[in-house]
Structure 1
Amino acid sequence: MNKSLILFSLILILIVSCKKKDDAIPRKTTGAINTISVIIDDQLWNGEVGDSVRNKFASPVIGLPQEEPLFTINQYPVKLMEGFMTDSRNIIVIKKGEKNNFEINKDQYASPQNVFHISGKTGGDIIAIIQKHSPEIIKLIRKTEIEECQRINKKSLLDPKIITDKFHINLEVPTSYQYVIQQENFIWLKKEIISGNTSLLLYQVPINALKKGNNLVTSIISMRDSIGGLYIHGKEPNTDLITEEAYAPYFFKIKLDGKVAYETKGTWELKNDFMSGPFINYAIIDEEHNRVLVLEGFSYSPSKEKRDLMHELESIIKSVKIIK
């Protein structure tokens, strides 16, 4: 009997230990890329507070030829904040409370996860909090979604040798992309999709090729147009890829892999043709290798949404690591 008691006790300890171990492992988040679950009662959602949320988090993405929301928003009443909604990567909880408060909780219900708690005494107080903290919220959600896309890409990556040997970089490109052109200082990779294709360009130019000051944007546009003239054409003669002149591109100075980089977003077109679409271009100032390293993504998907296509390209480009 003592042996049976000892055996029972050991089994019980093992079960409890396993349960504690399982409890310590956070649930994995689920859901589509660039999606936010907004937990808010219908009364607030259908009024000015809801309008404020939509204006901030569903505003048009810059650089796309058609209007598409920054994030896809799914709204749920507060009483339903259970189950699959708590597995979302990005959750914004909005409600009236006894005090005005803004709080960010990381991995509160699952991982990786951002949970933003917003409460205010009045609807006006809630709107003021949303206005104040929306840039911070958007920045954190975008970072999380880039990392999630990179995590998905890592499941199946192209052999990096060709890219590494040519450009002295590590770049996480999924196996869904295939090489179209390989030259000494230029690579074109393309992924075919049901509605068209997405492309990734890699090339480098001498570091003095970019003119500083007011001519910087013009210099980058001229550079990418010259690359299009050399390598990317339509089926008919004189149909090179160029930057669409009708819309001024968006331009930002950022850091990429710790180096100064210039981000340009706009629309491309084929000269004397009807094909067009969005592009995102990063010109990285790499003084160590005395060059400007250019990584560009563009998509062709007529009449289809392009937000997530461009997000994938941005995620690939932002995985770059320059080898010293």
Structure 2
Amino acid sequence: MKKLAFLTFVALSFLSCKENSKEEAKAILSESNGKINNVSIIIDDNLWNGEIGDSIRKKFAAPVDGLPQEEPLFNLNQYPTRVFEGFVRKSRNVIVIQKGSESGFVNTVDKYAKPQNISVISGSDTEDILKVLEEKSPEIIKSIKASEIIENQARMKKSLVSDAQVQKMFGVSLQIGFGYKYDMVKDKFIWLRKEFNSGYNSILIYEVPINTIEKDTNIIANITAMRDEIGKANIHGTLPNTWMITEAAYAPYLFEVNVANKKTYLTKGTWELKNDYMAGPFVNYAIKDAKNNRYLILEGFTYNPSKSKRDLVFELEAIIQSVKFLK
């Protein structure tokens, strides 16, 4: 029995040391690099310039839903296999395409740097690779978007604005990034705004009874009517008789998602000022809070005329998705 106990102790010690070694190796990894929503594609030129490259661009650089101008889902940076070293190897998001004896897909986290997401797609020929791409692209896109939200939140954590007023009024916490200021605070309504040279980002926080959104099955119409009512009451332009509405010319996109472990309606579309020419994209998260008999509304909208808006909206989503219910 003593011998068995000793062998068990040795085995457990070995496993413990092995796990510790893994953790230590992970701890000494250098920080990954790359701008938000940038993806490094490791693929030889002959494949990049053919069917496989076309498929990658079609999937990973597809237009983002809800933006007024066409912008790609991700910025793609292509590198031949022979240069997959140095700063490229430390990219945060990496997709490797390679020809081999078998087709397959492997996803690895924090291999050469951290945080890092590496997806390897292989196949014996072009047809094989295209088949794996078709099957695995949605999974890769979902993974990259989720990790980029976390990366954006991590960057914002370095200098947060106090959310004390949000906590007091709505019973939730929110990671509010640097530069946002309380533009309007009144009964059950908060407007946060960050101004920059070419425009501004805004976040609205308010709540409505569950019946406001669920009074019938036409959820998108109910959310649109709610937005327009809130805009008329609170979001006005500098000219008289102007207020924010949902742009009628473009139907918003509606998705069912999960935020803070709660059923959520995500609406993406374009806002405009009635009787004026200002416009831009918005994202509206209607989070069902059955415990408190309400929908908590967290909306972000941006104004950045004639310039890119994708990453501005993504920043708003990173802030909104940080919400935690305190009661």
Scaled by the length of structure 1, the TM-score of the pair is: 0.92
C-alpha displacement of 1:208: 2.0
Letter in 1 for 2:234: Y
State the alpha-carbon separation in 2 of the partners of residues 111 and 22 from structure 1: 11
Alignment match, 1:94:
97
Report if aligned partners of 2:253, 2:268 keep a CA contact under 8 Å in 1: yes
Query: Please, which of 242, 246, 249 is the counterpart of residue 252 of structure 2?
Result: 249
Q: Give CA-to-partner distance per residue, 1:217-242, whole Å, 9 cap, x none.
A: 11111011111000111111121100
State the alpha-carbon separation in 2 of the partners of residues 113 and 147 from structure 1: 12
Alignment match, 2:49:
46
State the alpha-carbon separation in 2 of the partners of residues 195 and 202 from structure 1: 24
Query: Please, which of 262, 282, 290 is the counterpart of residue 293 of structure 2?
Result: 290
Moved over 4 A (4+): 20-24
Runs (5+) with no aligned partner, structure 2: 1-22
Query: Please, which of 250, 270, 274 is the counterpart of residue 267 of structure 1?
Result: 270
Runs (5+) with no aligned partner, structure 1: 1-19
State the alpha-carbon separation in 2 of the partners of residues 256 and 263 from structure 1: 10
C-alpha displacement of 1:207: 2.1
Alignment match, 1:10:
none
Percent identical among aligned pairs is 53
Q: Does 1:180 align with 2:189?
A: no
Matches within 5 A, 1:4-15: none
Report if aligned partners of 2:175, 2:323 keep a CA contact under 8 Å in 1: yes
Letter in 2 for 1:222: A
- Secondary structure of 2:214's match? coil
Q: Does 1:77 align with 2:59?
A: no
Alignment match, 1:36:
39
Alignment match, 1:203:
206
Alignment match, 1:221:
224
Letter in 2 for 1:278: P
Alignment match, 2:149:
146
C-alpha displacement of 1:22: 7.7
- Secondary structure of 2:195's match? strand
State the alpha-carbon separation in 2 of the partners of residues 184 and 23 from structure 1: 48
Alignment match, 2:116:
113
State the alpha-carbon separation in 2 of the partners of residues 175 and 23 from structure 1: 30
State the alpha-carbon separation in 2 of the partners of residues 281 and 139 from structure 1: 19
Q: Give CA-to-partner distance per residue, 1:92-112, whole Å, 9 cap, x none.
A: 010111111111011111111
C-alpha displacement of 1:211: 2.7
Q: In 2 relative to 1, CA 23–275 (structure 1 residues): closer, same or farther, beyond 3 Å?
A: closer
- Secondary structure of 2:132's match? helix
Scaled by the length of structure 2, the TM-score of the pair is: 0.91
Letter in 2 for 1:177: Y
State the alpha-carbon separation in 1 of the partners of residues 210 and 164 from structure 2: 24
Q: Give CA-to-partner distance per residue, 1:301-320, whole Å, 9 cap, x none.
A: 00000000000000000000
Cα RMSD after superposing both structures: 1.3
- Secondary structure of 1:221's match? helix
- Secondary structure of 1:84's match? coil
- Secondary structure of 1:27's match? coil
State the alpha-carbon separation in 2 of the partners of residues 63 and 103 from structure 1: 32
State the alpha-carbon separation in 2 of the partners of residues 247 and 22 from structure 1: 51
Tell me whether 138-147 or 95-104 shows the greater mean CA deviation.
95-104
Letter in 2 for 1:130: L
